[in-house]
Chain A
């Protein structure tokens, strides 16, 4: 079955760029919509955005255009870049699959285990 695994630095300095990768195993990245979600004690769960193949992306406006999600089909991975980070971006970051392959309007049925990212100098 499909499994997801996040990877990336656990510590990022303020004003720098956070970069995370999600590796998809047990299935093709080309067949689904994929999302990033984060969870912090202060903000709860926050949807960051989604991507479908290399065709379409959508982001949470709350991130003020700081987020970029991309797909690398050759590695069966998708990634998140979040620029100009501050302490408010400290959170556990999850990658997740959207359940219905034909539309982004569905629940998140498969999640990675999550990776903690701390923004601090």
Chain B
């Protein structure tokens, strides 16, 4: 199985600041088959990024994804109050699909 390790575990930032979240895979993720999700308490995850860098319709452009191979990054350019949540990465190029353990972005 591909193990996804996210860092940091918790990111304490203020609204307006830039957030940089990392996701490292234990082996290369095929054809940039990596997604990022946002999850708020009591809610299902929401897809933010697919294909490492593509945003679905309706996702604000302050969310950006990059990377390939084993190292991927989610960047939130300027944090809005609604962005404080937990973020997960997930790979879907290999079976079984696997998720990272999550990074919590909290208000400083």
Pair from one complex: yes
**Once bound together, how far apart are the Cα atoms of A105 and B90, in whole Å?**
12
B35 within 8 A of A: yes
> At the interface, is chain B mostly helix, strand, loop or mixed?
loop
* Given A45-B90, A60-B96, CB of A107 within 8 Å of CB of B101: no
**Once bound together, how far apart are the Cα atoms of A61 and B92, in whole Å?**
15
Task: Decide if A94 touches B44 in the complex (CB within 8 Å).
Answer: yes
Chain A neighbourhood of B100, CB < 8 A: 44
Q: Which of A62, A106, A111, A112 has a CB less than 8 Å from the CB of B92? A: A106
Interface size on A, residues (CB 8 A): 20
Interface size on B, residues (CB 8 A): 23
Which one of B17-25, B45-53, B67-75 contacts A? B45-53
Task: Decide if B101 touches A109 in the complex (CB within 8 Å).
Answer: no
Task: Decide if A105 touches B93 in the complex (CB within 8 Å).
Answer: yes
Task: Decide if B44 touches A107 in the complex (CB within 8 Å).
Answer: no
Interface residues of B (CB under 8 A from A): 33, 35, 37, 43-47, 50-51, 56, 88, 90, 92-93, 95-102
List 6 A–B pairs whose Cβ atoms lie within 8 Å, in order of A's numbering. A61-B96, A99-B47, A105-B33, A109-B50, A111-B44, A111-B46
